[in-house]
Amino acid sequence: MNENLKTALKTIDNHNEIVKQDIKHWLNNELFTWNWWILVAFIVIPFTIWLLVVDRKRMLEFLLVWCLVIIPTSTLDSIGIDLKFWVYPVQFIPLTPRSLPFDIFMVGVTYMLLYQFFWNWKPYIIALVIMALVFSFIGEPISHLLNLVYYIKWEYYYSFLYYMVLGITVKGVLNKCKNIYFS
């Protein structure tokens, strides 16, 4: 067996031990805590609202928006965790990204709703600015107060800029795709 394979197997064994410890910690210290129930609400409430108001005729379009939002958001969130920019002390389910309730449900669903209700650029940008302000300067500080996230090397205005760039990019990509498809 070559050295690279031995090193890789040892790394996997070490990782498996960490995963086992993480699951044990989750079962004993996170599951069913009041913070955990807030994460449940962060999943159930946005998803329920979306199910009640979604225009089912445009479902494919909204799912594309959702994918265009959650892929970079979840990826950047994982990088931020690895680089110790922030930490999520409570996890909804072990072995999933710690940011799942935030990235996939809160952020993803909100962008789908923005895209559904604000077709033209001007109202979309206004709604996007309001959403980015609320998420960055109200939602994130509240999440910090509720011990759901701790920022180590991150500022709220970075999030605001990210939400803006993401929203403009997603709408631009979707508009371009629609123009190609329908022309």
In terms of domains, do 98 and 8 share one? no
Angstrom distance (rounded) from CA 140 to CA 174: 27
Quote the domain boundaries for residue 4.
Answer: 1-30
pLDDT tens readout for residues 55-101? 999 999 999 999 999 999 999 999 999 999 999 999 999 988 888 99
User: What are the φ and ψ backbone dihedral angles of 88, each rounded to 5 degrees?
Assistant: -105, 105
In terms of domains, do 17 and 66 share one? no
Predicted model pTM: 0.91
In terms of domains, do 84 and 173 share one? yes
Assign 154 to helix, strand or coil.
coil
In terms of domains, do 143 and 91 share one? yes
List of residues 6+ apart from 43 with CB closer than 8 A: 92, 100, 101, 105
Angstrom distance (rounded) from CA 174 to CA 171: 5
In terms of domains, do 153 and 83 share one? yes
The number of folded domains in the chain is 2
Q: Name which of 30, 44, 72, 43 is nearest 166 in CA terms.
A: 72
